[in-house]
Structure 1
């Protein structure tokens, strides 16, 4: 079963008054969707005696979302979140002392809710030892909030510059995020990847600039309308800003890009010969439509989908991506995608109502642009020293597929180091399966093996 996303801004809750019934839902409840994604459900009561529901997923960002409709009867509960097209409906089972029901959000999954006591809730608090150590330990580097301009887009971007102790000038890197509305720390499931990476690098004597994506946190601009190429312009603005700083060794200025950032770093390197080096952390090496299909296949299987379910999904999206890559205008593509998803629902290849959700996502400028991109021509133009890292268990940018693609595209560059790191996932955590369901459950934010591989190589450049 694919991961059910619950993260977003809080929704206002309304409810109806409840009659008396055998089991009062008032209080805290918890359960697992398909045995993987934990949901904590909190029933509270207003002064008027109406029930409200708040939902938190410790495994999916830990954001609080409130239901906008709550119903209950004798041994029966139902609540829904319209914005997410999701709902839960359950009946009380006295024998199991649990609500037994179905969570629906595009797909359906069984969800059993049992009482959540204070001790169990405390045990769910995520441990982030690397971030905790950074907060507690003295630093041998300075950390300063900065802002810089993307003159092309006429927006101001905000970030943090860490500078090692000493006079300098220092070897320096710009950190470029993966896809999604990432802040300067690339916070994912309470893991602050770029905070941990910047701390390690600056402790080793490397200056680091990390920044909020446009439209996110303290950065200006419109995130929703931006494409990979717009984010590349922002990354170039970050590089240009470091070129104004006297503390930076301009002959040793490079970039580290994670995931989508691994597409962006070669774009800048190919057009900016003064950039000294790049590091690709899980950077794509094949056409992005092919990458997304393989990503969907691997994650689907890892998250419990049957081979039949995966095959149906692959067929639906292979054809959808072909429509996007057809060369037709945007209006025609949207019309064809709608017809395609409607037919997929009729055929049973998609759950009822799922087509509209997929259509909305694929109409975003970022998705349209990303699905059409082939990194090979750009990678072939890169002449700078390049370190390419992939985790053996990466299911989002699978190692073999993408490392092989990078090897072929960069064969003319004699200063490329390619490493597949054992037991690491897409976030470069030490993992068991590589499934995205593990990300939030793993205490480690970034493997020391990956950290040492990057700092050691960079200091040699």
Structure 2
């Protein structure tokens, strides 16, 4: 999902702003002493991607996390404006005794190859294969407890986190600002908000186009042309995403005694109260915990008031409150 504005691009709930445009604001995230970072390759052959394995000091068997992006471009550090959200999380979790893998998305590292092919990546290519490869690396990493590996996804990655956890048979998942609602509904709501704060006619026109695309997505039927392009991707790709059923994936995770942590920033205008409510059917399941952060935005940065586009120009670390909460939950044996 992508919504383009004149000064930023919202990508499945993530607005990317070039770092050169980022406002000057010091970051408080400092690399912890004694952690070890090792370059890794994930995937196979010409499609392999670069990643980093971050390991805490010591030899104790420790839990581990795989970080999974939302849709659109994704670097291993999750560069947003001048911020480095995935690097912050990796360093923060490692300082709390958790190993972490982060990596470039395949469509980002191999953008030229996909352009040459003249097609969009499949769900497997964009999300599932590299996440599974990251799990495999963690399972053979000395000191990592293979029974305590978790998938942490942001935005679209959060929507897919339970599916990835079930496919890779790991201990559980963390949904960071994800939604189980239909993709078309999410696009319409995001663009309607964008329309309400649009600064000029170009932004209003783009928001109206996205609303129309959301309606087209909601109108997809079994008879729809699989190659028809809607909102930049063919119908067959949208069908893959629509078939995921995140609530049912969390039910399956719980049924096999897995754990799920569903997290929401109350300042987020991209994933909203409607999305939070859509997760409620799983709230009572064994192993499932849900939690809200009143001061956090879509990428778990602290701020005041309603989130705005300009926050994606920040140079600001991920919330320490968020890191502490997730680390405590992952480090616990069970809820």
TM-score (norm 1): 0.61
Contact 1:299–1:436, Cα closer than 8 Å, also in 2: no
Match of 2:121 among 208, 221, 226: 226
TM-fit CA distance, 1:222:
4.0
1:60 matched to 2:17: yes
Question: 2:268: which partner in 1?
Answer: 394
Q: Distance in 1 between matches of 2:233 and 2:147?
A: 41
1:438 matched to 2:311: yes
Contact 2:63–2:145, Cα closer than 8 Å, also in 1: yes
Q: 1:127 to 1:267 in 2, by over 3 A?
A: same
Question: 2:24: which partner in 1?
Answer: 126
Contact 2:63–2:148, Cα closer than 8 Å, also in 1: yes
Question: 2:62: which partner in 1?
Answer: 170
Q: Distance in 2 between matches of 1:285 and 1:250?
A: 28
TM-fit CA distance, 1:417:
1.2
TM-score (norm 2): 0.81
Match of 1:237 among 133, 140, 143: 133
TM-fit CA distance, 1:314:
6.9
Q: Secondary structure of 1:413's match?
A: coil
Alignment deviations for residues 58-105 of structure 1 (CA, whole Å, 9 cap, x no partner): x931469xxxxxxxxxxxxxxxxxxxxxxxxxxxxxxxxxxxxxxxxx
Question: 2:253: which partner in 1?
Answer: 382
Higher-Rg structure is 1
Match of 1:267 among 163, 167, 177: 163
**Counting strand residues as a fraction of each chain, which structure ranks higher?**
1
Alignment deviations for residues 240-291 of structure 1 (CA, whole Å, 9 cap, x no partner): 1211222211121112111111122111223343x11211100112122211
TM-fit CA distance, 1:456:
1.5
Q: Secondary structure of 1:127's match?
A: coil
**Counting helix residues as a fraction of each chain, which structure ranks higher?**
2
Q: 1:128 to 1:235 in 2, by over 3 A?
A: farther
TM-fit CA distance, 1:149:
3.0
Q: Distance in 2 between matches of 1:192 and 1:401?
A: 28
How many residues in Structure 1 have an aligned counterpart in Structure 2? 315
Match of 1:147 among 5, 30, 41: 41
Q: Secondary structure of 1:130's match?
A: coil
List runs of 5+ in structure 2 lacking aligned partners: 10-15
Q: 1:157 to 1:373 in 2, by over 3 A?
A: same
Q: Distance in 1 between matches of 2:62 and 2:318?
A: 24
Q: Distance in 2 between matches of 1:403 and 1:221?
A: 37
Q: Distance in 1 between matches of 2:239 and 2:23?
A: 38
List runs of 5+ in structure 1 lacking aligned partners: 8-58, 65-123, 338-357
1:447 matched to 2:323: no
Q: Which has the higher contact order (CA 8 A, sep 6+)?
A: 2
Contact 1:285–1:376, Cα closer than 8 Å, also in 2: yes
